[in-house]
């Protein structure tokens, strides 16, 4: 198999004639406009080649952003306007699309269906195909039939509910921490459902740790508001990273919300991290460790059942077999981590009572 080369600056030697992304405007832009823009200095085009022909490109040009439009972090100690790079046109030849995250829709479905089997609330999902296109279909949880009428259930993600701009969806960018998410839930959901909602939040965070779903940021958690009822929405937009570990090794991945003392999976993979998570959520350490242990223990079987429910062609895909093997290993490791956490969190033998009389 020949390798990809680049990105490198487009030259007259590059073969762009056979490039086809499916959009004739972009194909033409690469062939005619890109070389001209480059000569005139309007934009530069960077290409990736495969078998000596261009299979992907993007164009860059210099730009500026007014300080008032930039986020605080980007604007700090920068001139006004801020110098920026604008990524203009970009396209991938259709024979090379979807290689990086192959079968992401299928893996998202597998992740969601497995979560559901574990007892973590998740809408039912499926995969549909049309030609080369693979897409996930997800049952909406923000609609309900009441008294024969279709009702809309209002949902606010945790950024909206906290009055935060979507730029702050990751905790490391100023988004809500597990502590803030839990206290928001306790406030919004109200006494009757708060405990269940925070337990559900814990399950979602633990699940994301187990399957390594690194994108569980504040816009991927929502609160549902139906009349006086408020609840945490089920899991959505969750996909395991294990099949894509060759792109970024798992220990280097960062979680969107802190599990433990920082964002790295390598730090989250410690008994200490589960204990901190319990503390952060205001939940019992032992109960949290035991719940993580339980979810880890049943995960491999649940995944096998999900795989068995897939159409034969999907069951036979190498990515599915690879994920099953990798997830089983990770689940075993996580179970041990949770077991250690549970041992540490278990109450020690009662101290002998002090011999002082009380009045
Ligand atoms: N099953 C669902 N029912 C109702 N609303 C949903 C559902 N799944 C997602 N949403 C809403 O759609 C938004 C985008 O969906 P998401 O799966 O997060 O896609 P993206 O990958 O674009 O972030 C979510 O933030 C949520 O508000
Ligand atoms: Mg999302």
Tell me the per-residue pLDDT of 152-205, one tens digit each, with 9 for 90 and over: 999 999 999 999 999 999 999 999 999 999 999 999 998 889 999 999 999 999
- Nearest atom in ligand 1 to the alpha carbon of residue 138 is 1
Span of 222-226, 308-312, 344-348 with lowest mean pLDDT? 344-348
Chain-centroid distance of CA 188 in Å reads: 24
C-beta 138 within 6 A of ligand 1: yes
Instruction: Check if 219 has its Cβ closer than 6 Å to any atom of ligand 1.
Output: yes
pLDDT of residue 353 exceeding 70:
no
Predicted local confidence at residue 96, as pLDDT: 82
The most confident of the ranges 43-52, 239-248, 294-303 is 294-303
User: What is this structure's pTM?
Assistant: 0.77
Q: Does CATH number 3.40.630.30 belong to domain 4-96? A: yes
Structure tokens, 200? 């559900």
Compute how many other C-beta atoms are within 10 angstroms of the C-beta atom of residue 245: 17
Average pLDDT, the chain: 92
| Residue 187: partners with Cβ closer than 8 Å, 6 or more residues away | none
pLDDT band at 359 (very low <50, low <70, confident <90, very high): low
Average pLDDT over residues 5-17: 92
In this prediction, residue 191 carries a pLDDT of 84
Q: For ligand 1, atom 10, name the residue with the nearest CA.
A: 236
The closest ligand to the CA of 141 turns out to be 1
pLDDT of residue 259: 93
* Atom 7 (ligand 1) nearest CA: 140
Rounded CA separation 108/277 (Å): 25
- Residue 1's pLDDT is 41
- Cβ–ligand 1 distance for 157 under 6 Å, the answer yes
Residues whose CB falls within 8 Å of the CB of residue 31, separated by 6 or more in sequence, listed in order: 16, 17, 19
pLDDT of residue 98: 67
| H or E element that contains 111 | helix 104-117
244 Cβ below 6 A of ligand 1: no
Q: What are phi and psi of 312, to 5 degrees?
A: -50, -40
Q: What is the pLDDT of residue 77?
A: 77
Report residue 165: phi and psi, to 5°: -65, 145
Of 53-67, 74-88, 168-182, 303-317, which range is least confident?
Answer: 74-88
Ligand nearest to the CA of 157: 1
Task: Indicate the top mutation candidate among 236, 238, 239 to test ligand 1's pocket, ranked by most ligand atoms within 8 A of CB.
Answer: 236
Domain ranges in the chain are 4-96, 104-345
What residues contact residue 300 under an 8 Å CB cut-off, 6+ apart? 324, 327, 328, 331, 332
**Mode of pairing for the β-strands spanning 133-138 and 82-92:** unpaired
146-154 mean pLDDT:
92
Collapsing DSSP to helix, strand or coil, 51 comes out as coil
Rounded Cα–Cα distance for residues 225 and 81 (Å): 41
CA dihedral sign, ordered 107, 108, 113, 117: positive
Look at the block and give the residue holding tokens 């960077």.
Answer: 46
- d(C-alpha 235, C-alpha 306), whole Å: 17
Interval 249-287: pLDDT, tens: 999 899 999 998 989 999 999 999 999 999 999 999 999
Q: Give me the pLDDT at residue 63, please.
A: 84
Q: How far is the CA of 218 from the centre of ligand 1 (A)?
A: 12
Please identify, by atom number, the ligand 1 atom nearest to the C-alpha of residue 141: 3
Given the candidates 1.10.1070.20, 3.40.50.300, 3.40.1350.10, 1.10.10.10, the CATH classification of the domain at 104-345 is 1.10.1070.20
Residues in the 5 Å CB sphere of ion ligand 2: 220, 237
Q: Give pLDDT, residue 73.
A: 74
Q: Residue 308 and residue 314: Cα distance in Å, rounded? A: 10
Query: What distance in Å separates the CA atoms of residue 181 and residue 186, rounded to the nearest whole number?
Result: 9
């Amino acid at each position: 198999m020949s390798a990809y080369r680049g990105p490198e600056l487009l030259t007259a030697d590059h073969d762009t004639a056979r490039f086809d992304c499916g959009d004739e405007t972009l194909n033409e832009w690469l062939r005619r406009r890109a070389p001209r823009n480059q000569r005139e200095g309007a934009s530069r085009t960077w290409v990736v080649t495969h078998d000596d022909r261009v299979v992907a490109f993007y164009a860059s040009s210099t730009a500026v952003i007014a300080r008032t439009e930039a986020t605080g972090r980007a604007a700090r100690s920068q001139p006004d306007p801020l110098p920026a790079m604008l990524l203009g046109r970009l396209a991938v030849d259709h024979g090379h699309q979807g290689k990086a995250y192959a079968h992401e829709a299928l893996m998202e479905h597998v992740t969601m269906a497995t979560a559901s089997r574990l007892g973590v609330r998740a809408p039912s999902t499926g995969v549909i195909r049309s030609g080369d296109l693979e897409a996930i279909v997800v049952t909406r949880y923000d609609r309900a039939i009441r008294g024969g009428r279709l009702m809309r259930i209002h949902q606010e993600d945790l950024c909206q509910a906290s009055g935060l701009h979507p730029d702050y969806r990751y905790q490391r960018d100023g988004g809500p921490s597990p502590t803030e998410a839990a206290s928001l839930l306790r406030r919004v959901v109200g006494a009757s459902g708060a405990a269940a909602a925070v337990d559900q939040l814990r399950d979602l965070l633990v699940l994301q740790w187990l399957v390594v779903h690194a994108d569980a940021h504040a816009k991927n958690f929502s609160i549902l508001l139906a009349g006086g009822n408020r609840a945490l929405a089920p899991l959505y937009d969750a996909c395991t990273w294990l099949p894509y570990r060759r792109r970024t090794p798992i220990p280097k991945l960062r979680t969107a919300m802190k599990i433990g003392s920082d964002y790295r999976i390598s730090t989250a993979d410690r008994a200490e991290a589960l204990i901190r998570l319990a503390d952060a959520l205001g939940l019992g350490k032992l109960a949290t460790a035991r719940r993580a242990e339980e979810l880890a223990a049943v995960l491999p079987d649940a995944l096998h059942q999900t795989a068995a429910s897939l159409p034969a062609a999907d069951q036979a895909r190498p990515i599915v077999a690879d994920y099953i093997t990798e997830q089983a290993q990770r689940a075993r490791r996580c179970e041990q981590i949770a077991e250690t956490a549970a041992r540490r969190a278990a109450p020690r033998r009662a101290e002998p009572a002090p011999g002082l009389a009380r009045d």
